[in-house]
């Protein structure tokens, strides 16, 4: 993928059927500079829309409300993708979750290969949750179910 496209590839859509993590980059309201945070409450609603949930304690909520232009960095099979888009509030607060969250839809405007020339990923990064596994699974189920209903 050398040129930008405006939708997720089938490979990327498949990747978002399982829990994955991405880097969400926003423009910081206070500094005016870029900021990136790893998130995992995200899925592809379709080839042109991501849906994600953010805890209201995070600066990201206000960042995206004030400046909706974002970049989502996705570590895919052999590639790193930069997905540029525009955030809009889908539901605030997100219903049926145990704490105050905001649900956003991201309209995808461009998908680009962000890996430097001549390189490919040898593996997709993995993560593990280091807190109570049952509590993590329960919370993940609640958040994803609420986002799908939003």
The CATH number covering residue 115 comes to 2.30.110.10
Total domains in the chain come to 1
| pLDDT for position 140 | 93
3 within domain boundaries: no
76 within domain boundaries: yes
| pLDDT for position 131 | 83
Each residue's pLDDT, cut to its tens digit, for the chain (150 residues) gives: 556 799 999 999 999 988 899 999 999 999 999 999 999 999 999 999 999 999 999 999 999 999 999 999 999 889 999 999 999 999 999 999 999 999 999 999 999 999 999 999 998 888 888 888 899 899 999 999 999 999
- pTM beyond 0.85: the answer is yes
| pLDDT for position 90 | 97
User: How far are the Cα atoms of 7, 22, 102, 121 from residue 127, in angstroms, in the given order?
Assistant: 26, 11, 24, 16
101 within domain boundaries: yes
5 within domain boundaries: no
Range of the domain at 93: 10-149
CA-wise closest residue to 16 among 147, 114, 150:
147
């Amino acid at each position: 993928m050398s040129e930008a496209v405006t939708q997720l590839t089938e490979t990327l859509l498949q990747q978002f059927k399982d829990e994955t993590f991405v880097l969400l980059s926003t423009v910081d309201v206070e500094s005016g500079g870029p900021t990136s945070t790893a998130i995992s409450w995200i899925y592809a609603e379709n080839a042109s829309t991501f849906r994600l949930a953010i805890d209201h304690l995070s600066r990201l909520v206000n960042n995206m409300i004030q400046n909706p232009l974002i970049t989502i960095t996705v570590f895919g099979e052999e590639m790193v993708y930069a997905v540029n888009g525009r955030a809009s509030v889908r539901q605030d607060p997100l219903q049926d979750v145990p704490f105050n969250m905001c649900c956003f839809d991201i309209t995808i405007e461009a998908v680009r290969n962000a890996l430097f020339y001549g390189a490919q990923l040898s593996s997709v990064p993995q993560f593990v949750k280091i807190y109570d596994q049952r509590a993590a699974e329960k919370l993940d189920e609640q958040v994803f179910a609420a986002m799908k209903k939003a």
